[in-house]
């Protein structure tokens, strides 16, 4: 609860008048002081009354690429029996506030506000909660309360179409990638039978032991696996324009483009930030298993001060051998780590490096790697499609 300047003045006057009235035996002053104190107390009680409001919001859509339009529809309904007078409401959208008309919202009625969500920058834009301020008629006390939960709007990096996708070291014998992993002869695990499974894949011995049908789950060992390592160190992206590291934004766009292209080609892909644990990606939006998808992770990605994050990541990559094609995306300050990345060529037959925002081109054949220098995500996509050696 916050008392306004008018309320502070009236409260001070109440104390002074009451004190002077008692001290010099002026009942009139004492009465005025008491009246002022009662007014402040009444204002506090009025402001403390909590209006019954139901807040719903709908993002349309809740996930967009950078620069695409997105809007939020907010509906406020008065579920109480009394009129909610003297209410001021505003909704928070990122760093700005949006006024919401609820001043004279009658019982059983609702009001709706629709406004645009800023998508000019990659990131997660928090929208809400609604902040409702209750004031007394004299403007002595104001009490603000939140209503409704905050809803995030995910602003993904721009996606540039890639026509070429690395196929890695593993290839199908007929020259194409097998998009259906169940057809191979390599056993992976057992799982419960679901309607539609072929009976020839039922493992009868295990089914008899556990009392329910169990089927063999096979994987295609020839299916290439891509690993995208995004360098999100502050040292790798030292240049700032308006407080934003454009080289990092371009690297995020390149990562999003690669992940999307791999998904469209039915290729398994792992997205790894230098300062985070690897997370397997099955779909860009992550809706298949409720996990946070790679595009959402890229929207929420931020620069880290961990200076040795790339070395730690390359150590994990060498030990785990998560794929056969490694794509390392960094900025002008990350070229010092190319030696550590190049040392992974024994574990990863194909290693591609994308360097963004460098004033000078990376020396050709640095650490024996395929290096793509680009000013932004669009140029990276053009250079990427021109690579003939993976």
- One domain, residues 367 and 231: yes
Residue 390 located in a structural domain:
no
Q: Whole domain around residue 288: which residue ranges?
A: 226-385
Q: What is the pLDDT of residue 196?
A: 83
Residue 119 located in a structural domain:
yes
- One domain, residues 241 and 361: yes
- Give the end of a domain, one of 202, 219, 236: 219
In tens, the pLDDT along 248-275 reads: 999 999 999 999 999 988 888 899 998 8
Q: What is the pLDDT of residue 155?
A: 96
- One domain, residues 30 and 151: no
The residues that bridge with 187 in the sheet, in sequence order, are 218
What H or E segment, with its residue span, contains residue 152? Answer: strand 151-156
- One domain, residues 294 and 329: yes
Residue 203 located in a structural domain:
yes
- One domain, residues 42 and 77: no
- One domain, residues 63 and 188: no
CATH number for the domain spanning 359: value is: 3.40.50.410
Residue 163 located in a structural domain:
no
Query: pLDDT below 70 — which residues of the chain?
Result: 1, 82-86, 166-188, 218-223, 277-291, 364-368, 388-390
* Residue burial 246-264, b: 16+ Cβ < 10 Å; e: rest: bbbbbbbbbbbbbbbbbbe
- One domain, residues 150 and 235: no
Residue 187 located in a structural domain:
yes
Q: What is the pLDDT of residue 104?
A: 76
As a whole number of angstroms, the distance between CA 57 and CA 98 comes to 14
Residue 265 located in a structural domain:
yes
- One domain, residues 294 and 347: yes
Residue 168 located in a structural domain:
no
- One domain, residues 257 and 380: yes
- One domain, residues 379 and 314: yes
Q: Is the dihedral of CA 309, 312, 316, 317 positive or negative?
A: positive
In tens, the pLDDT along 205-237 reads: 888 888 889 988 766 555 578 899 999 999 999
Number of domains in the chain: 4
Helices within the chain (DSSP H only): 5-24, 27-48, 204-210, 246-264, 294-300, 309-320, 338-342, 377-385
Residue 165 located in a structural domain:
no
- One domain, residues 68 and 210: no
- One domain, residues 240 and 336: yes
| Closest by Cα among 12, 14, 9 to 22 | 14
Q: What is the pLDDT of residue 217?
A: 77
Taking the whole predicted model, whether its pTM rises above 0.85 is answered as no
């Amino acid at each position: 609860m916050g008392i306004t300047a008018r309320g502070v003045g009236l409260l001070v006057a109440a104390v002074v008048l009451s004190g002077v009235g008692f001290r010099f035996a002026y009942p009139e002053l004492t009465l005025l002081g008491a009246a002022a104190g009662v007014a402040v107390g009444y204002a506090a009680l009025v402001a403390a009354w909590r209006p019954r409001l139901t807040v719903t919001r709908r993002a349309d859509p809740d996930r967009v690429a950078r620069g695409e339009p997105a809007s939020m529809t907010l509906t406020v309904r008065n579920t109480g029996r009394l009129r909610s007078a003297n209410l001021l409401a505003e909704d928070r959208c990122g760093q700005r506030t949006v006024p919401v008309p609820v001043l004279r919202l009658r019982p059983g009625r609702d009001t709706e506000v629709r406004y645009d969500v800023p998508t000019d920058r990659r990131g997660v834009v928090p929208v809400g909660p609604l902040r409702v301020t209750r004031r007394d008629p004299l403007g002595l006390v104001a009490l603000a309360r939140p209503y409704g939960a905050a809803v995030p709007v995910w602003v993904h990096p721009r996606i540039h179409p890639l026509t070429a996708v690395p196929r890695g070291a593993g290839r199908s014998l007929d020259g194409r990638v097998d998009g259906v992993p169940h057809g191979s002869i390599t056993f992976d695990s057992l799982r419960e039978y679901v309607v539609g499974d072929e009976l020839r894949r039922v493992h009868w011995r295990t089914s008899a032991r556990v009392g329910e049908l169990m089927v063999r789950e096979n994987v295609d060992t020839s299916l290439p696996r891509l690993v995208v390592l995004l360098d999100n160190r502050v040292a790798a992206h030292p240049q700032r324009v308006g407080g934003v590291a454009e080289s990092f934004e371009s690297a995020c766009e390149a990562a999003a483009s690669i992940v999307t292209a791999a998904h469209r080609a039915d290729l398994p892909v792992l997205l790894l930030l230098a300062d985070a644990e690897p997370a397997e990606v099955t779909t860009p939006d992550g809706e298949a298993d409720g996990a946070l998808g790679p595009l959402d992770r890229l929207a929420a990605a931020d620069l880290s001060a961990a200076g040795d994050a790339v070395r730690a990541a390359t150590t994990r990559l060498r030990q785990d051998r998560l794929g056969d094609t490694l794509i390392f995306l960094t900025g002008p300050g990350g070229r010092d780590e190319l030696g550590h990345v190049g040392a992974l060529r024994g574990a990863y037959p194909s290693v591609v490096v994308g360097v963004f925002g460098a004033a000078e081109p990376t020396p050709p054949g640095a650490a024996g790697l395929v290096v793509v220098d680009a000013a932004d995500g669009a140029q990276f996509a053009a250079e990427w499609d021109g690579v003939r050696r993976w």
